């Protein structure tokens, strides 16, 4: 399997994204998902909510969806940034190699 700089930096970005998600994504994801779940349960059962099992399940499911969406967004964004950084590094490496080849070909022409 061909391993490129862009692939390695994308993996590094994904790892950093998981750390960022653990630090900054879990609480807001569950908070926003829970608020959405309370609104959905309120539309279905009316507010204030009764402490029934079905309304709690709706709120729990929406909290899990909020956490999942936050994780997907943060990890995807950070791995994309890592991949782009790797592509920039690869283009710089290829430019240096092309410049070195040009210099070698010019030196051979002079002989």
Contact predicate 32/68, CB 8 Å: no
**CB 74 within 8 Å of CB 99:** no
Residue 3 covered by a domain: no
Query: Is 4 domain-assigned?
Result: no
Residue 54, domain member (yes or no): yes
Give pLDDT, residue 93: 77
Q: Which of 14, 9, 8 is nearest to 78 (CA)?
A: 14
* Residue 2 domain-assigned (yes or no): no
Give the pLDDT of residue 91: 87
Of the candidates 41, 22, 36, the one whose C-alpha atom is nearest the C-alpha of residue 66 is: 36
Instruction: Please count the structural domains in the chain.
Output: 1
pLDDT in tens for each of the 111 residues of the chain?
Answer: 467 899 999 999 999 999 999 999 999 999 999 999 999 999 999 999 888 999 999 999 999 999 999 999 999 999 999 999 999 999 887 766 666 566 556 556 665
* Residue 76: predicted pLDDT: 97
- pLDDT number for residue 83: 95
Report whether 33 contacts 58 (CB < 8 A). Answer: no
Local structure of 75: helix, strand or coil: helix
In a domain, 33, yes or no: yes
Nearest to 65 by CA among 23, 27, 30: 30
Residue 62 belongs to some domain of the structure: yes
Nearest-angstrom CA–CA distance, 2 and 7: 9
């Amino acid at each position: 399997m061909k391993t490129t700089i862009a692939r390695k930096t994308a993996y590094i970005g994904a790892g950093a994204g998981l750390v960022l998600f653990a630090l900054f994504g879990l609480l807001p994801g569950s908070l926003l998902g829970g608020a959405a779940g309370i609104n959905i349960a309120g539309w279905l059962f009316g507010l204030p909510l009764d402490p029934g099992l079905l309304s709690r399940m709706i709120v729990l499911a929406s909290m899990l969806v909020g956490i999942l969406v936050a994780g997907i967004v943060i990890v995807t964004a950070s791995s994309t940034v890592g991949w782009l950084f790797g592509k920039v590094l690869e283009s710089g490496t290829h430019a240096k190699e092309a410049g070195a080849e040009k210099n070698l070909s010019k030196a051979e022409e002079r002989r």
